[in-house]
Amino acid sequence: MSDSSSQPLAGYRVLDLTTFLSGPFCTQILADLGAEVVKLEAPEGDSSRHIPPHFVDDDSAYFLGVNRSKKSIAVNLKSPEGLELAKALIAQCDVVVENYRPGVAGRIGLDVEALRREHPRLIWASISGFGQEGPLRDRPAYDMIVQAMSGVMSLTGEIGRPAVRLGIPAGDIVAGMYAAIAINAALANRERGGQGQHIDVSMLDCQLAMLSYQSAYALVAGVTPQRQAARHDSIPTYRSFMAADGRELVITANTERMWQGLCVALERPELREDPRFAGADNRLANKEVLWEALEQAFLARPAQEWIEPLAANGVPVALIKTVPEALEDARESGRGMVVPLEREDGRKIEVVGNPIKFMGETQPAGAYPPGLGESARDVLGAWLGMDDGQVEALLERKVLVSRDPAARN
């Protein structure tokens, strides 16, 4: 376990009742910032432990990617004793995070408002598809559902082709990020003398917020934004191009100076002198003709050979990397964005690291994601004062399940 004593959220306790991605991503952010995060799992574990096709022993790569630096306790909440144990843990923590469908927490015996009345400083964060209130609150939602309903999918893909899902699970990830932001705000408010909060984060709301200028165009101008492909609605020199070797690169020549630099780098001075391309408005009005000229120019060289002349002329440029290529670049960057994790038996994996850096501070790599229920003795001893005999009795009565780290191969 990495030492988190000097990190911003050191000393805060978080009970993580979440599964799959939006909630675990949120609580991993909190763990990266130093909070003690305990996953309270069902006896069979977080469902994401079992997602194929890639596994390390009993746990999926999916699970391992978003659960570092946490502890795990597996509790049978269907038993009265297990439910009371969960309530006792809630009484000892600062934050509870759950991503049940609205109303489910109450049905399993965790009445949020009653618990908050009993513990007024408790911060309870609920992540759901459509929020705790509203006509859609009872509907199930996953990443692609909210990408579709928010309009995000309508923007994604090639013009004239069917809509496609973003290649990353933005519906889940963005909700997790907003929940982490809200939790930190609620903790700050509490430290200034306020009470706890019940935070309501909707995956759909978060996707709508991420529409950014596309929503402004629709609301202000009354337009319906179309598929973006690898282009920009307002800046025709902000897009991808194919080079001579079949590899793609992107340029983002947003300013007049960058446009001038683009013409120099491409050795096409006539484009700079063409009145059809004089100024951003003209370039946008004549984008199809401009794109044809630029496409032909980029086909003159392999993609890598364009990087240096474009960068030298002030044009932001990048190759479109594969995921392994991007990870290798990150590994070599020295910014700690690919980090090794090692568990007690010597098993090692690499995961993507914490992007939040505090200047002058050492960034802990984090701890290997926990085995199912393996932290029961640690957590129940530290939080509730239970000794090994009491924990063993709970294990024997099947109130708890624990995967013994020593039994791993």
Q: Which 3 state secondary structure label does DSSP give 190? A: helix
Query: Alpha-carbon distance 328 to 332, whole Å?
Result: 6
Strand partners, 95: 14, 123
Q: What is the dihedral of CA 173, 177, 179, 182, to 10 degrees?
A: -170
Which residue among 46, 172, 200, 205 is the active-site one? 172
Could you report how far apart the first and last alpha carbons of the chain are, in Å? 20
pLDDT at 2 over 60: no
Q: For 275, which DSSP code?
A: G
- Report how far apart, in Å, the C-alpha atoms of 337 and of each of 27, 72, 132, 301 are: 18, 25, 35, 32
| Residue 367 structure tokens | 């701890």
What pTM was computed for the model? 0.94
pLDDT digits (tens, 9 = 90+) for 174-197: 999 999 999 999 999 999 998 999
**φ and ψ at residue 402, rounded to 5 degrees:** -140, 130
> Residue 365: pLDDT band by 50, 70, 90 thresholds?
confident
Q: Report which of 68, 70, 96, 66 is spatially closest to residue 186, judged by C-alpha positions.
A: 96
CATH architecture of 13-210+335-407: 3-Layer(aba) Sandwich (3.40)
Query: Alpha-carbon distance 174 to 172, whole Å?
Result: 6
> Residue 405: pLDDT band by 50, 70, 90 thresholds?
low
Q: One fold for both 13-210+335-407 and 238-323?
A: no
Q: Report which of 50, 46, 133 is spatially closest to residue 97, judged by C-alpha positions.
A: 46
pLDDT at 124 over 50: yes
- Report how far apart, in Å, the C-alpha atoms of 235 and of each of 143, 151, 265 are: 29, 21, 19
Q: What is the pLDDT of residue 404?
A: 62
| 46 catalytic per annotation | no
pLDDT at 5 over 70: no
Mean pLDDT for 49-63 is 97
Q: Domain segments of the chain: what residues?
A: 13-210+335-407, 238-323
pLDDT digits (tens, 9 = 90+) for 196-249: 999 999 999 999 999 999 999 999 999 999 999 999 999 999 999 999 999 999
- The answer to whether the beta carbons of residues 46 and 60 sit under 8 Å apart is no
Mean pLDDT for 88-112 is 98
Query: Alpha-carbon distance 371 to 114, whole Å?
Result: 32
Q: What is the pLDDT of residue 276?
A: 98
With tokens 């484009």, the residue in question is 271
Overall CATH class of domain 238-323:
alpha beta
